[in-house]
Amino acid sequence: MKNYKVGIIGATGMVGQRFAVLLENHPWFTVTALAASARSAGKKYEDAVSGKWLMSSPIPEKLKDLVVMDASADKEKIASSVDFVFCAVDMKKEEIKALEESYAKLECPVMSNNSANRFTDDVPMIIPEVNPDHIQIVEAQKKRLGTKRGFISVKSNCSIQSYVPALQPLRKFGISRILACTYQAISGAGKNFDTWPEMQDNLIPYIAGEEEKSEKEPLKVWGRVEGNRIVSASAPLITTQCLRVPVSDGHFAAVFVSFDKKPSKDEIISLWNDYKGEPQLLSLPSAPKQFIHYFEEDNYPQAKLHRNLENGMAVSVGRLREDTQYDYKFVSLSHNTVRGAAGGAIEMAELYAAKGYFD
Annotated catalytic residue 158: yes
d(CA 196, CA 190): 10
d(CA 18, CA 312): 12
DSSP code at position 341:
I
The residues pairing with 179 across neighbouring beta strands, listed in sequence order, are: 239, 256
Q: Tell me which amino acid residue 159 is.
A: S
d(CA 169, CA 274): 9
Q: Tell which residue, 210, 112, 192, has the closest CA to residue 152.
A: 112
Q: Are 306 and 318 in contact (CB under 8 A)?
A: no
The residues pairing with 52 across neighbouring beta strands, listed in sequence order, are: none
Alpha-helical segments (H) within 82-197: 93-105, 138-145, 164-167
Dihedral (CA of 21, 211, 276, 114) sign: negative
Residue from 134, 242, 251, 306 carrying the catalytic annotation:
251
How many beta carbons lie within 10 A of that of residue 265, not counting itself? 11
Residue from 158, 242, 293, 306 carrying the catalytic annotation:
158
d(CA 250, CA 252): 6
Q: Are 141 and 122 in contact (CB under 8 A)?
A: yes
Spatial neighbors of 292 by CB under 8 A, at least 6 apart, are: 165, 166, 169, 272, 273, 275, 314, 315, 316, 317
d(CA 38, CA 8): 15
Q: Are 165 and 131 in contact (CB under 8 A)?
A: no
Q: Which residues are part of the catalytic machinery?
A: 158, 251
